[in-house]
Structure 1
């Protein structure tokens, strides 16, 4: 909770009891890069890691950034002696078009977190994977030196079996080809929304399609209008988005994109 916008949303109630973190802008242009490095210079003595979601900030509003940003973060972590931690819980396992989003920047994080598609959503399971220099820092027969922390349900047998089955499907079925087809489909069918009144942006990355609005006056009412179209689409903040299953048939995906166009054509 302490690294997830503690001053906003569902975490703000815990702001007084959580550790303080520096929320820095992503270095996407000269101004944001200058501010990013200013914060690193000022707080270098008290920093341990840089943490971000690679390529897509999911709950932050489906905000995209380029692989160049990740390369800048990797270089900054190396320069200041920090760990680079990438949260690929949402982006991992093909969602952005590559197996892992960080592959598009050709970088390797020090720690990566995974979940969601790890089990295909069938069971709750997460994994935290570290490079050898991080793992070996806690590798000891001495309990006082080891990382003696783990969840109660760690390595749940049924969840691990689900993960193995899900990973087997990634090896035997054309998952990334399916993502590429979804990307083409979403790009083609959502682009027509760009000219609708109140639409601020349309963007697609991998199997993620986003129509950003100037504002959503009544999210509940907008959701009900989608339900009336016999689809389940959840407006969030100022966006209407799709993150379909990779196995979705083209006709079902068109049903979703058509519903978005029809509903937004009559205002939100």
Structure 2
């Protein structure tokens, strides 16, 4: 197995929404806001080369939305999904699987592209993986979350015939060395890859822990549908990660790619900051 970091660019979100009940006087020290209270966030994906397959975990925001849409999110940085994949020595057609942690626009937007007047899967040779519970949640969204589930990001995957549903249960292997952890607090049935790599366990934290600074238990996004579930999921998985000496891979932390954990008198906190390429 070989893992590669795939950076797809940066965007901005409201700092208060990203940090929930945590006061700005605290979070502004670690991710300073601009004059509009917006903070920069990464859209960092993971490429897994394993047993003849090339699996992309999440796809970033993509480039097919209109100027008005992107005007809300202030895209910046030089990285794109395609350039990052090519920089690792692969083409878009080499991708065999796209594993979608969940179907919010900043995770699935790059899965679909415009081809003339049509919307088609970006990766024509890939199988796209979601799960039935989350898919149903996304295509029949609640009023609070529906702005994050865009039909143009989702329905073309089903229409193409390239969509399949993961049937692996909590904690079981989807592929050898690639387990799936399910969490329900951020959104229904979000899937977190737990990958055994070079004698280390790496948890792709997605939106359970969008950044290293979200490790303290009260740091929970205002976007989460069930924040108390997020709290309990963080307690459980952080305890497991700390005892097992796992690494956490952060999708949205624009500075910190991975870290390990340490036990302190204030609870579990980040330890050493690490880059995937250094493993």
For normalisation by structure 1, the TM-score amounts to 0.32
The answer to which structure, 1 or 2, has the higher relative contact order (CA under 8 A, 6+ apart) is 2
For normalisation by structure 2, the TM-score amounts to 0.31
Greater Rg over alpha carbons, structure: 1
